[in-house]
Amino acid sequence: MEPFGARLRRAMDERGPLCVGIDPHASLLLEWGLNDDVAGLERFSRTVVEAVADRVAVMKPQSAFFERFGSRGVAVLETVVREARAAGTLVVMDAKRGDIGSTMGGYAEAYLHKDAPLFSDALTVSPYLGYGSLGPAVALARESGAGLFVLALTSNPEGGEVQHAVRADGRSVGATMLAHLAAENAGERPLGSFGAVVGATVGDLASYDLDVNGPLLAPGVGAQGATAADLPRVFGPALRNVVPNVSRGVLREGPDPVALRDAARRFADGIRDVVAGA
């Protein structure tokens, strides 16, 4: 398969750099008038996929909100992944997996093996058992033409105690993760397949080198407070490789499919305009 980075670059150029999250938590199901059960989960998720999967670059299902229903919820997730990819969007599985050795290998097989029921175009992973612990996922992603998004500079306030901690060599932990990703992506064109998660609400990142020659998945636009206009200040020269994620800002417009499509279009157009004008 063509590498994830190349497929993502093309999708961003053609459809605009927007990722729509699929986060079917209980409060959103209730807002939609659905029960907080597997039937409600399936109705919610498939409505979102049918409304926007043929017009956005990326969709990002949050695995936790499916897993909470057990095997039936995971079965719904398998359908969501399959139908979203069939509609032409790239799927980033937001599972934030991180472990060592054969266990990390097992997680990689679940999401990055081309024959797995949950095979996704990319997977979010946590490197805080050491970047090297991600080796099995990196290897299988390369083999399968998939990608990874590594937690680097997240927007949750607790993250700073780890990510901004300074190592003995004077470099922060977050900067170290970015440097590892730059090495993974060295020489790749038009875009590497190994990206970072960098929150759009983190603030001034001028002291960090975000040019990892790979994508930057940026949660926080919409309900969390960041806007498209904030992106140039946060990401600077790396702006063209940013994939802003919007979840509630789009999902709260449901269950009307037209309203969901309109919301996704507004966010996509706003982000496209900002990138073009930067």
Annotated catalytic sites, by residue? 96
Cis peptide bond prior to 219, omega within 30° of 0: no
Nearest CA-CA partner of 129 in 151, 146, 112: 151
Distance, in Å, from the CA atom of 197 to the CA atom of 218, rounded to the nearest integer, reads 6
**Buried-state track 54-78, b at ≥16 Cβ within 10 A, e below 16:** ebbbbbbbbbebbeebeeebeebbe
Residues 228 and 135: beta-carbon distance below 8 Å: no
Residues 197 and 151: beta-carbon distance below 8 Å: yes
For the record, the structure tokens of 39 come out as 């039937």
Q: Where are the alpha helices (DSSP H) in 68-211?
A: 71-86, 101-112, 135-144, 160-163, 173-184
Residues 57 and 24: beta-carbon distance below 8 Å: no
Give the other-Cβ count within 10 Å of 87's Cβ: 15
